[in-house]
Amino acid sequence: MCASASTSHENVVKASMPLLRRQQGVAIVLALLLMVLAVTLTASLFLPQHVWLRETENLAAAVRARALHRAVLDAERQILRLDAMTHGPVTIAGGTWSRPADTGPMTAPLPAAQAAGRILIRVSDAQGRFNLTNLATHGQPDAAQTEIFRQLLQAAGLDTTLAERAASAIAGTQAASGMAWQGPMAYQRLDDLRAIDGFDDRVLAALRQRVVVLPERTAINVNTASRDVLAAALTPALAATLADGRDRAYLRDHADIAGRLPDAAPAGLAALDVKSAYFLVELHIAIGRMALDSETLVRRRWDSRIRDGDDDRLLPTRIVWTRAL
């Protein structure tokens, strides 16, 4: 009887073994699921904090970049004043205003991810380019200035009929003499010319270093203009003569220009000057993951009463516009 009972117990144990194994497997799977759930919950708690930290770092970098942008522009305006105090009304290539600046890597009191930064500065004389505002006056296209633009287009390998289109479009934004203007807004930047048929990305890219749009009519500064801009206003031969001569001694006034170009046509000489009032400041400011690229047009006024730079009110500068690149 004892043997029979022992055998029966063994049979029961053997029969229950598969059930125990299944229960152990379920317990392991449940434990793994609980562990995955715990890890997921923990990660979900830390993820918003990580995102918030990144957003805070980016916000701090953006604020600092904007502050640096304002500070650098103020410094460049002071440099333009200093240059005028040094050279008077004449603007020359290689002056204090024209020196590019690269701070190189710089450190800042920011988190390690944003501790390094860089500031790149490039200033160019806007009047070293042809001013498209010259294409019309009082609502009428200017034939002489349109011809200069046509020569520039030809030198760049572009459609020369764009000169007449641009002149007509710019004339359409101006009032006739003595009349109040209620028409379209004037063009302010080169990119605004996209509204004119034919001025696509390729054309604007080819013209960007040759032309500019300024708030008023201006002459071309012979001391800073490129050879192709001078050639459009004069002839290639006269432009070469002028460019070669200014490398030895910059031009000081209209009489100096006329003396070096005795064969130049009066219309060509009338388009030239030695002074500049408008300058383009290009900035690249990088801090950590943030980068700020901009272009700013600065106007510098000259007052002949200034003496030795003792009165900044006689040499004001102002920002005409600034745009992100």
Query: What is the amino acid identity at position 128?
Result: G
Residue 30: pLDDT over 60: yes
From 297, 301, 300, 261, select the one nearest 282 (Cα to Cα). 297
- CB-count exposure of residue 116 (10 Å: 0-12, 13-18, 19+): middle
Annotated domain spans of the chain = 128-273
The rounded radius of gyration (Å) of the Cα atoms in the chain is 35
Which one has a higher pLDDT value, 152 or 174? 152
Could you give the percent of the chain with pLDDT greater than 90? 51
Q: Which tens digits make up the pLDDT trace of 123-171?
A: 999 999 999 999 999 899 999 999 999 999 999 999 999 999 999 999 9
- The reported pLDDT for the residue numbered 263 is 83
- Residue 102's beta-bridge partner residues? 120
Q: How far apart are CA 130 and CA 148, in angstroms?
A: 8
- The reported pLDDT for the residue numbered 13 is 46
Q: How far apart are CA 247 and CA 55, in angstroms?
A: 52
- The structure's pTM equals 0.78
Q: How confident is the model at residue 112 (pLDDT cuts 50, 70, 90)?
A: very low
177 φ, ψ to 5°?
Answer: -55, 125
- The reported pLDDT for the residue numbered 239 is 94
Q: Residues 6 or more apart from 110 whose CB is under 8 A from it?
A: 57, 60, 61, 64, 287, 288
To the nearest whole number, what is the mean pLDDT of the chain? 82
Query: What is the amino acid identity at position 182?
Result: Q
